[in-house]
Amino acid sequence: DAGITQSPRYKITETGRQVTLMCHQTWSHSYMFWYRQDLGHGLRLIYYSAAADITDKGEVPDGYVVSRSKTENFPLTLESATRSQTSVYFCASSEWDSPLHFGNGTRLTVT
Amino acid sequence: QKEVEQNSGPLSVPEGAIASLNCTYSDRGSQSFFWYRQYSGKSPELIMFIYSNGDKEDGRFTAQLNKASQYVSLLIRDSQPSDSATYLCAGGGGSEKLVFGKGTKLTVNP
C-alpha cells in the first residue's frame, strides 16, 4: 500500500549510543520532514529535505543527522543519544505547499 | 521566530454542540493553514486546509481564515465523542516553513 512507514515503532537505547530511525514513503513526494513531539512543546521540526541530496535544518537540529540518498528514504540518526532526546518522532512527506502526511511515529526512550 | 498559538484547553463540549478551536499566527507571510487531528498515541491526520480568506466547509467541519487578523479557526458542528482528540493548527508559506501550534485538547461528552 502507498504511504509512509516508520521503523521501529518503539526503541529503547542507552545514553551515548547511536540510533537510526527509518522513514520510507511510496508517494514519491519531494519533501520529507522529521519532527519530534514532546509534552508542552508540540511538534518541532528537526530536519527537512526538499529532494534527494538536499537537506536543511529545522528548529531543533542539534544532536541529529539526516541523509537522503533516495527520494523515498529519509533516515534520522542520533549520533550519541541523550536523555533529552527521549520523545516521539514523526516523519512526514508532502509536495510543495501541500498538506503533510505523517507516519505512525517512533517512540524513543533513552535511558 | 515564527509562532502559531493555540488555546491549550482543554476544551469540553457536550455531544451535539459546536466546538470552536482557535489559532493565531505571527508570520504575515504565511499563506497556507492546516488543521490536524491527533488521537492519543496516534499520528496527526489532516482534517482541513485553507489558503484563502473566508470559510471553507467540509461536512461537519468549517475552517475560517482571517489574514488581516492573523487568525484561523476550526468549527466542528454536531460534535461527537469520536471527535475527542487534540487538534493541531499549522501555518506556513510553503512546505519548508510549516509551524505547528501546541494543540488544543477537545473532549466531547456524551
- The predicted-structure confidence for B31-85, as pLDDT tens digits, reads as follows 889 999 999 999 999 999 999 999 999 999 999 999 999 999 999 999 999 999 9
- CB neighbours of B39 closer than 8 A, spacing ≥ 6? B85, B86
DSSP state of A28: -
- Whether residue B34 contacts residue B49, with contact meaning beta carbons closer than 8 Å, is answered with yes
Question: Which residue, among B96, B99, B104, would best test binding to A if mutated, counting the most A CBs under 10 Å from its CB?
Answer: B96
- The predicted-structure confidence for A13-35, as pLDDT tens digits, reads as follows 999 999 999 999 999 999 999 99
Contact between A100 and B100 using a beta-carbon 8 Å cutoff: no
- CB neighbours of A59 closer than 8 A, spacing ≥ 6? A44, A45, A46
Whether the predicted pLDDT of B102 surpasses 60: yes
Nearest residue in chain A measured CA to CA from B1:
A59
Residue A41 confidence class, pLDDT cut points 50, 70, 90 = confident
Number of CB pairs, chain A paired with chain B, less than 8 A apart: 53
| Burial category of B50 from C-beta neighbours within 10 Å (exposed 0-12, middle 13-18, buried 19 and up) | buried
What confidence score (pLDDT) does residue B31 get?
85
What confidence score (pLDDT) does residue A91 get?
97
- Whether residue B27 contacts residue B93, with contact meaning beta carbons closer than 8 Å, is answered with yes
Residue, of B91 and B29, whose pLDDT is higher? B91
Question: Which residue, among B31, B52, B95, B104, would best test binding to A if mutated, counting the most A CBs under 10 Å from its CB?
Answer: B95
Average pLDDT for chain B: 92
**Chain B neighbors of A41, CB-CB under 8 A:** 102
Which residues of A touch chain B, with CB atoms under 8 Å apart? Answer: 31, 33, 35, 40-45, 48, 50, 56, 90, 94-105
What confidence score (pLDDT) does residue B2 get?
79
Contact between A31 and B96 using a beta-carbon 8 Å cutoff: yes
Residue of A13, A25, A23, A42 whose CA lies nearest to A105: A23
Q: Tell me which amino acid residue A34 is.
A: W
What confidence score (pLDDT) does residue B94 get?
57
What confidence score (pLDDT) does residue B96 get?
56
Nearest residue in chain A measured CA to CA from B93:
A97
Average pLDDT for chain A: 94
Q: What cell was used for A74?
A: 529519509
How confident is the model over A88-105, as a mean pLDDT?
92
In angstroms, the Cα distances linking A54 to A33, A50, A51, A59, A77 are 12, 6, 5, 17, 16
| Residue A83: how many other CB atoms lie within 10 Å | 10
Residue A2 confidence class, pLDDT cut points 50, 70, 90 = low
Residue A105 confidence class, pLDDT cut points 50, 70, 90 = very high
Contact between A42 and B88 using a beta-carbon 8 Å cutoff: yes
| Residue B19: how many other CB atoms lie within 10 Å | 24
**Chain B neighbors of A105, CB-CB under 8 A:** 42-43
Whether the predicted pLDDT of B88 surpasses 60: yes
Distance CA A103, CA A51 (A): 18
Residue B98 confidence class, pLDDT cut points 50, 70, 90 = confident
- Whether residue A89 contacts residue A7, with contact meaning beta carbons closer than 8 Å, is answered with no
Whether the predicted pLDDT of B93 surpasses 80: no
